[in-house]
Structure 1
Amino acid sequence: MNMGAVFPPVLLFTLTVIPHLGGLGALVRTLILRPGVTAIVTRVLMPRLQRFLKKWLYPPLQAFRGRHESRAA
């Protein structure tokens, strides 16, 4: 899930913002890229991905209880 959330903004920043910063060093470009990508992933993408994958990430307790009881029998 993290790769699916991080790759698109990194690609977007790499294609749109970084070419305009060509005169700056690699360290400065990275210092500009990192907070932008972190903010987009943390505030926008991860909450939406968690909501979209809610049933898979947080299955109902009955699913666990049923599996546990069948092992005990």
Structure 2
Amino acid sequence: MSADLGNGAAIARLLGDDGTAVVGHLFLWGSGDLGILWTGDDHEISFVDRVLDVDVLAPARAADSAELVEFLETLPVKAL
């Protein structure tokens, strides 16, 4: 059984080590949680395609996504 996180929306693309290949999409759920929808078998994230707003990250940290938020904050931004 999985928890109902509400509606989700993609808020960023997660990029591989070459800075151009999209390896996943970052989703923000109605619950405030963040999640990743992987686009393939490569799960190595090196960049995010935009600066993530503190208004998104703070609630996500409080909604059980703290480890993911900490990781995302370490990623450099590389716009496609």
TM-score, structure 1 normalization: 0.20
Structure number, greater radius of gyration: 1
Give the structure with the higher percent helix: 1
Give the structure with the higher percent strand: 2
TM-score, structure 2 normalization: 0.19
